[in-house]
Each structure stands twice: as C-alpha cells, then as structure tokens.
Amino acid sequence: MTTLSKLQNYLAEIAKNDKKGKKINAFLQLNPHAVEEAKKIDAKSRKGKLAGKIIGVKANINVLGLNASCASHVLENYESTYDASVVRKIKEEDGLIIGMLNCDEFACGWSGETSAFGPVKNPHALDLVAGGSSSGSGASVAAGFCDMALGSDTGGSIRVPASHCGVVGVKPSYASVSRYGLIDLSMSLDQIGTLTKNVSDAALLLSVISGKDENDSISVETKKLDFKKIEQVPRNITLGVLDFQIKDERIQKLIDKRVEEAKKKYGWKVQKIKIEHVDLAIATYFPLVYTEFFSSTRRLDGRRYGKRIEQAAGPEVLRRILGGAEISKAEHSGRYYYLALKAKKIIEQEFEKAFKKIDCIISPVVPRLPHKIGEKISMEEMFQYDALTSPMNLAGNCALSLPAGRIDNIPVGMQISCAKFEEEKMLQIARSFEKL
Ligand code: GLN
C-alpha cells in the first residue's frame, strides 16, 4: 500500500470518528501538507526506515508550521518555527506527520480532562477517559487514526494512556531521547517516547529517535537499538514482581497470571521485589514538577508566545504555577525542592540495587481502571494514577506499558521496567510477553 493511500484511509477514519461519529477528539490539528508530503515519499526511489508510517504528535512537541498549543488557549495561535529533534529524525527517515494530538494542558494531568479543547474519549469505552496526559496519542493509535504517535512522559503520561487504550507505550531512559523542541513540564523528569500498536513498531520508532543530540546537552549516545533483535526471547531472565499493595485486586491478579504464563513458557525465574521508599514517589514528584514547571512557564508572559499563562490557562496549570512560586521562595530554600531532589536520588539508588538482582520490574501501570469523563474524583485518588509510573521517572529507568488483558472489557496494561539504557532487553521481554 502506498503512503498516500494509507494516509487517505486514516484521514477518512478521522473524518468519520474523531470530530463526528464517536467523537474521540484525539486530533487538535491535521497537517495541511500531509497529502503532498505522502506523494513525495511515495515518489522516492530510496526510502527511509519509517516510509509508509503515519505518525501523530502530541501537541507539546514542535513540528514546523503546525500548532504546538499544548492543548492550551495560551499557545492556541503559536505556530512552530522549527522541528523538534525527534520530528526532524522522523522526517529524515520518511515518517509522515499526520497532525497534532490532544493532551492535558501543558501535559499537566492524569486523564486528558484538563485540555482546553475538551477531553479525549477512550476508544474502547466512549464514556471513560483515555488516560493522560498523552490522551490523544493513546486514543489515536487505538482508534485506528494513525500507525504511531509521539507522547511525553514526566510521571506516567505515556504509560497511563497506553494502559487505558490498550496500546504499547514506551518511556525511554532519561536522556536517551533528545528533548529539544519539547515544551517542558519538568526538566529533570521529562522524556519523549512512543505509543504504537505493538512492540516491534515501538522498537522501530525508538531506534530512529534515540541517541545524542547536540541541541540537548543532557542527551547521551546509547547502544544502537537493533530493532530486529527484539524478536529474540532473552534467556536466564529473572522477573521482579513489584511488592506494592493496590486497591483493585483484579488488576494485580491479571498481571500475576501473565507472569506465570511467561515463567512456564520461557523458563524465566520470578521473585517478589521490594523497592524501599517507592511509596514516597508521589510526594517527591510534585515539588519537583511544581518548581520546574513554574520556572519554565516564566517565558509565557504574553510578550513573545501568545497570551500570558496566568490569564489564559486552566485551574490545574494555575495550581502548579502557584505551588511552584511558593516553593521557589527564597525563605523556603532547601526545604522542599532540594529535599525532593535528595529523595529522588535515594529512590534511584534503591532501583540500582534491585537491578543487580533482577532483570526487570513488573507491576500494573495504573492501580485502577479509568474513571468516567467528568466524574468527580478526589485529588488523592487522581494522584494514585501515577503511583507506579512516577518512580521510574524519578529513577531515570526505561519503562513501558504492554497490553495485558481486559477487565470489564477495559484494557489493562502491564508495566515492564529495566535499568537505565537497557531498552533492548526491556523490548525483548515485552515482545516475549506479547507472543504468549
Ligand atoms: N500525571 C502526572 C502529572 O500530572 C504526569 C504528567 C506527565 O507525565 N506529563 O504531573
């Protein structure tokens, strides 16, 4: 099938079900040049690795000429003047950008409901949230609007929607993918990653976007990911099942069942693993996010990029700005931010210790099923969405969400996390689970 005919099928599906029909509301903008670009790709005699792949981009990642609005009125008229490094790499390999995807406003959220342009519906159950903050990225892949999507993950924002939408979502190790061109939420935690229909596509897209980039000084060169190697079932693997009490036992049981199946089929070893202080992850995560988000939003003062953030943003964004302003006050110096950094380091060390004994850590992605759109749930309950994902950002590990089955007909994801820069092993383990 040509790129053009594939694109046209997706565009027809979007026209039918994104703004009309099921009204998933995944896309905020379609790429007006997509048809032209598809024809150019088809006409090439030597095509890149991503030729024929149609890719959606979360609206907090810059794509030249498109609107990186961050799903906010603040940036609704902002047109990107450059490509983020990940987007440049995708284009160099002939991937086609189909459009910009809805998300929580400035990636601040758990469910996709903080978007200024309406929530994204879960394609598997239209009355439920798709999970956030990369809600459009998860829903667009699940709904059959594109092959792949880019998302960003600060505390779980790729893995949570991947889990609820039943797709594969990868948060790469901290610093392994350039963040140049990502509108940041929290610099010491953010990572751009992938949402795809299967593990092989995740490996393919990651192999394109990973690696050192001069424009992101923290990015590092990692072992080149050989996506063909992903098919190999790794030998002598010890799975560590995270010892963590969650409320919905059905979710843990589902994960345990998958682990048992893998143990039987591949002869892998399984042991329970306790990570000290993992229960402090949420309390550590938010002071960091509030402070760093406050700092990064100071440029949104209305002079250069559209509206002043305090005037045009929604309540979740404002809460974080207020919180960050308070924590950053000189009189609190050291009390919150630096303490959180210390706790982050301790959690990171606990994971490093664990990964000396085991190859990967398995847990649910989200300790609960998605709530109904508009349902009032307490802040504490909302924070729980990230209880199992944010520790991986604090530690810098790579982690992914893999569809593990369904409960009440809603997809449930299994989290597989490996030590920093062990993406290849993580994807091999995930692919082995996928084959079961
Ligand atoms: N839910 C978390 C938050 O609101 C994570 C967001 C993210 O990963 N971008 O901060």
Pocket test for ligand 1, best of 133, 164, 174 (most atoms within 8 A of CB): 133
> Cα dist. 28→217, 333, 398 in Å?
31, 40, 29
Q: Which residue has the CA at smallest separation from atom 5 of ligand 1? A: 155
Report how far residue 81's alpha carbon sits from residue 239's, in angstroms, rounded to the nearest whole number: 45
Of the candidates 230, 175, 231, 227, the one whose C-alpha atom is nearest the C-alpha of residue 206 is 227
**Vertex 187 angle, CA 330 and 109, to 5°:** 95
Instruction: Name the residues annotated as catalytic.
Output: 58, 133, 157
Q: Which residue has the CA at smallest separation from atom 4 of ligand 1? A: 109
In SS3 terms, 33-66 reads as: CHHHHHHHHHHCCCCCCCCCCEEEEECCECCCCC
CB of 185 shorter than 6 A to ligand 1: yes
Report how far residue 99's alpha carbon sits from residue 144's, in angstroms, rounded to the nearest whole number: 14
CB of 133 shorter than 6 A to ligand 1: yes
C-alpha 156 to ligand 1 mean position (Å): 6
Q: Does the bond joining 133 to the residue before it have cis omega, within 30 degrees of 0?
A: yes
C-alpha 152 to ligand 1 mean position (Å): 9
CB of 155 shorter than 6 A to ligand 1: yes
Per-residue pLDDT of the chain (436 residues; tens, 9 = 90+): 999 999 999 999 999 999 999 999 999 999 999 999 999 999 999 999 999 999 999 999 999 999 999 999 999 999 999 999 999 999 999 999 999 999 999 999 999 999 999 999 999 999 999 999 999 999 999 999 999 999 999 999 999 999 999 999 999 999 999 999 999 999 999 999 999 999 999 999 999 999 999 999 999 998 888 888 999 999 999 999 999 999 999 999 999 999 999 999 999 999 999 999 999 999 999 999 999 999 999 999 999 888 999 999 999 999 999 999 999 998 887 789 999 999 999 999 999 999 999 999 999 999 999 999 999 999 999 999 999 999 999 999 999 999 999 999 999 999 999 999 999 999 999 999 999 9
Helix (H, G, I), strand (E, B) or coil at 121: strand
Structure tokens at 45: 């005699």
Q: Delineate the domains of the chain, giving CATH numbers in brackets.
A: 3-228 (3.90.1300.10), 282-337 (no CATH)
Beta-carbon neighbour count of residue 367 at 10 Å? 18
Q: Where are the alpha helices (DSSP H) in 44-125?
A: 85-92
Counting from 1 in the atom list of ligand 1, the atom nearest the Cα of 152 is 9
C-alpha 74 to ligand 1 mean position (Å): 19
Structure tokens at 347: 């959690």
CB of 386 shorter than 6 A to ligand 1: yes
Spell out a b/e string for 39-67, using b for 16 or more CB atoms within 10 Å of the CB, else e. eebbeeeeebebbbbbbbbbbbbbbbebb
Spell out a b/e string for 158-172, using b for 16 or more CB atoms within 10 Å of the CB, else e. bbbbbbbbbbbbbbb
C-alpha 335 to ligand 1 mean position (Å): 23
CB of 108 shorter than 6 A to ligand 1: yes
